[in-house]
Structure 1
Amino acid sequence: MSAESTPGHRGRGRRRTTRDKRHRGLKAAAWTAAGIVVLGGTGAGYLCFRLNGNIASVDIDQVLGTDRPEKADNGSENVLVLGSDTRSGGNEELGGGADDGTARSDTAMIVHVHEGHKKASVVSLPRDTVVDRPECTDTDGGTHPAASGVMFNSAYATGGAACAVKTVESITDLRMDHYLEVDFTGFRKIVDELGGVEVTTGEDIDDPDSHLKLEAGTHRLDGEQALGLVRTRHGVGDGSDLGRIQLQQAFVRALVRQVGEIGVFTDPEKLYGLADTATKAVTTDSGLGSVNSLMSFANGLKNITPANMRMITLPVRYDPANGNRVLVEEARARQVWTALKNDKPIFKGATEGTATGEARGVVTS
């Protein structure tokens, strides 16, 4: 599918003035997940002092106001995790574009943390999904009119983080309790700080567009290779964004596994290096915009393992009018959103018969 370059900007936030930060979630693609698990549960006071100033945050609650879905009262939480391909701040080479301020949400995931924080359900949102974007206000106070039949990633390109959250809440009727964003450069540095991530590919991958060439087998990917993997689509499956999402989900599992194996929690020097890198790499909502709040949130996620993560793609079908777009399978999607709203497991049949991209199994770990 073609990547649409829509003029926009990255949601701006103020940088906190003390030094620290922590990673969260699962991201990308999914990438963020590992960062937060890694930094969770440490409680080291000196991190809060040294790293707080790294954090960039966006006050999404203030921008969106009260016209939003109600917060869940069942102990669960929803986090919107975005991987952005902003062309500024050193990302030009990695993004393949000019430093013109444009940006898109290259990867999007809703991470639903179930009550008890021992399990998570992750729903990937294809960036080429055709949606109705609601009217939204960006973090600079600019208002953007509603638009029908546009690509999902146009929300971020149009109005930044706040507009992306508003659009997701409109589609799902789920309250996004938190927001977390990582750009290309940040993702690459986090993987390098971890010492690379080991994956096994079931077939050769050769995608000139993402600059990735791997023979079938087991590889330890450095940051640049990992970025190539989560952006690859032409070298696997049917060449669609759906196939790329399957690679991203497999990589997230490998990333979370890597975090658990390298002894971050018992090595203060390694922990600090990763914390410093991760806190510079992400943008959060203001609710996670301090080290204390990030670490408190992450502390509850450290017991989530790959085996306790259910990862799916939003049920979609190819758009008959445009093979480069997908349409939401509304009935099946409602099953997904209802399950998350009620903090229940996602029905296994919710994605049966929907478009997949045909790349599952290319990366197995």
Structure 2
Amino acid sequence: MAGKRSARLPSGALGAVRMSAGQWVATAVTVLAIIASLGAYGWYASLWGNITTTQVDTDQWDRPDNVAGVKNILVLGSDVRSGENAEYGDAEGERPDTMLIASLNIDSGAATLVNLPRDLLVDLPACEPAEDYQGMDAHSGMFNSAMTFGGVACQWKAVEHVTGVHLDHFLMLDFSGFIDMVDALGGVEMCVPEPIDDPKAHLELEAGEQTLDGEDSLGYVRSRYAQGDGSDLSRIGRQQEFMGAMLREVLDSEVMTSPPTITNFVGAVTDSITTDEDLSVDTMSEIAMAMREVELDRVQFVTVPNGLHPANENRIILDEQPAADLFERINEGADMTGSDGSDETSGDGAEAPEPSDISIDVLNNTNIEGLASEVEVVLTGADYTVASTGNPQERLPEATTVYHTAGDEASAELLADYIGQARTEEVQSLDQTLELVIGADWQGIAGNGGASDPDSAISEELDGATAEEEGQDAC
């Protein structure tokens, strides 16, 4: 019996694993937790004293309920065009250039970072006038514009109003601090797929593998019109690639065991951060204890589901039901990385299969020469065992199909989920666990990570992935 899988359209000929969400500013959340876990509490506390704090009166509005065991932090990338940041743009006013919710599961030590694109048009709540802010009436507007009218408190209120997610804290990082963070690491190694010349972002780069310093890194994550399709969503993908590379740089053993590097890096982070007054050393230490052995595959990235605005192709709107499902899972405290280390079972009570348990014959039924070998590389990297590659002789489907024998349905579903657009079909016998025949409908591998945990299903549907996978595409 054939089963149709839902299709997604990955970028690139092979559709290698890519992030669709998250932002470089989330590095601050993860890094502070990692550094706090090193044990030098007094040293960390002294650095924490460098951080600017501001009071946010969240009692001014009706709020969603908080979630036990979960800390939700509103993370903002500051776009204040004054002082040190003036050279990075000409616009006046205060608005977050980047905005996301970092949902930290204290019980499991996992993190889900939900990107909120700045081009989202949403129904904003009213905000009262405050010092230096004129306030605003309820209206439909850009998601990040609330900060312009009412400061951090208004932006906080707007995010809770739109998402229904209780925010425990906020954290804002400015542009100049980002440059210092990268330079403290000695730069970040990145693959630049094609030459970039973007005067607006002060960026000119050759194609290829290279180490970006702070200035070039900022230009790379801010560049929009000279790369991709010029959209904010396209830029989000590049920002996510950079963040994955930066996180790996931070977690590199040479960095973590170098006191001068750690001191300079954490100093750069704390010098450039503004938080609410309640985000204390004790609170960060609580988070750090839960994330003291954080692995990159426990940091999940998704972009809130969205679609084009029907009347303005330069703006996007929420895809209401999928977005509501995502926010509900956050409110449930779900670990969406699907890697909590617990014993997983399939629907019939049997132990769920792992990629390492599955052997596959990969057969190419397209006119793309060498495609089976390319797919072999990706599947092997995802821990599947590829027994052979070639062209099919017996089964010649037009649609990409995963063949399995009776009893191996779960393995077939796991591989089909990983591919993203494959069908499954039972046959009488096979040489290996599965036979993958690539058909004419091939769109590449979506790269769901192969997680069997139902808690991870929603992030897979949103094309989410982990920091461990990010930035692993070859130049």
Question: Which TM-score applies when normalising by structure 2?
Answer: 0.63
For residues 206 and 152 of structure 1, what CA distance do their matches in structure 2 show? 29
2:33–2:284 Cα contact (<8 Å) kept: no
1:113-137 CA-to-partner distances (Å, cap 9, x unmatched) read 2243432211111101001111235
Deviation of 1:44 (Å): 2.4
Match of 2:451 in 1: none
- Equivalent in 191, 215, 232 of residue 223 of structure 2: 232
Residues 248 and 106 (structure 1), Cα distance of their counterparts in 2 relative to 1, 3 Å cut: same
**What TM-score do you get using the length of structure 1 for normalisation?**
0.81
Aligned residue in 2 for 1:79: 73
- The reply to whether residue 351 of structure 1 matches residue 462 of structure 2 is yes
Residue segments in structure 1 that go unaligned for 5+ positions in a row: 1-25, 353-360
Q: 1:137 to 1:265 in 2, by over 3 A?
A: farther
1:133 equivalent in structure 2: 124
Cα distance in structure 2, aligned partners of 1:69 and 1:84: 25
Instruction: Choose which of 317, 327, 332 in structure 2 pairs with 1:337.
Output: 327
- The answer for the alignment partner of 1:69 in structure 2 is 64
> 1:212/1:141 Cα in 2 relative to 1: closer, same or farther (>3 Å)?
closer
- Please give the residue correspondences for 1:239-278 in structure 2 after superposition, counting only pairs within 5 Å: 239-278=230-269
Whether the 8 Å CA contact 1:33–1:256 is kept in 2: the answer is: no
Call closer, same or farther: CA 1:304–1:206 in 2, change over 3 Å.
Answer: farther
Match of 1:316 in 2: 306
Identity among equivalent positions (%) equals 37
For 1:363 and 1:131, locate their aligned partners in 2 and report how far apart those are by CA, in whole Å: 34
Q: How many residues align?
A: 326
Where 1:113 maps in the other structure, the secondary structure is strand
- Please, what is the CA RMSD of the aligned residues? 2.6
Contact 1:30-1:83 at 8 Å conserved across structures? no
Q: Structure 1's 351 and 217: CA in aligned 2 closer, same or farther, altered over 3 A? A: same
For 2:77, the aligned partner's letter is G
2:472 and 2:176 map into 1 onto residues whose CA distance is 23
* Pair 313,253 (structure 1): closer, same or farther in 2 beyond 3 Å: same
* Distance in 2 (alpha carbons) for counterparts of 1:186 and 1:364: 28
Query: Displacement, 1:320?
Result: 2.5
Asked whether the 8 Å contact 1:138–1:162 carries over to 2, the reply is: no
Distance change (3 Å), C-alpha of 1:64 and 1:58: farther
Secondary structure, aligned partner of 2:194: coil
| 1:51 aligns to 2:42 (yes or no) | no
Spell out, residue by residue over 1:266-297, the C-alpha distance to the aligned partner (whole angstroms, 9 max, x if none): 33333222222211110112122x44443443
The aligned counterpart of 2:205 is 214
Alpha-carbon separation, structure 2, partners of 1:63 and 1:144 = 15
Amino acid at match of 2:112: S
Compute the displacement of 1:164 (Å).
1.2
Larger Cα Rg: Structure 1 or Structure 2?
2
- Unmatched 5+ stretches in structure 2: 1-21, 337-455, 464-469
Alignment match, 1:88: 82
Is the contact between residue 27 and residue 34 of structure 1 (CA under 8 Å) also seen in structure 2?
Answer: no
The amino acid that maps onto 1:351 is L
**SS of alignment partner, residue 155 of structure 2:** helix
Query: Structure 1 residues 190 and 90, CA, compared in 2 at 3 Å: closer, same or farther?
Result: same
Helix, strand or coil for the counterpart of 1:72?
coil
User: 1:45 Cα deviation (Å)?
Assistant: 4.6
CA distance in 1, matches of 2:327, 2:38: 33
The SS at the match of 1:116 is coil
Counterparts of 1:156 and 1:43, CA distance in 2 = 36
- 1:21-40 equivalences under 5 Å are 27-40=23-36
**C-alpha spacing 1:133/1:151, structure 2 compared with 1 (3 Å):** same
Counterpart residue identity of residue 317, structure 1: G
Residues 188 and 249, structure 2, Cα contact 8 Å, conserved in 1: yes
Task: Please give the per-residue CA displacement for 1:26-64, whole angstroms capped at 9, x wherever unaligned.
Answer: 85244424531442213425425643441111222x344
2:302 matches 1:306: no
Instruction: Provide the rounded CA distance (Å) in 2 between the counterparts of 1:342 and 1:362.
Output: 30
Query: 1:11 maps to what in 2?
Result: none
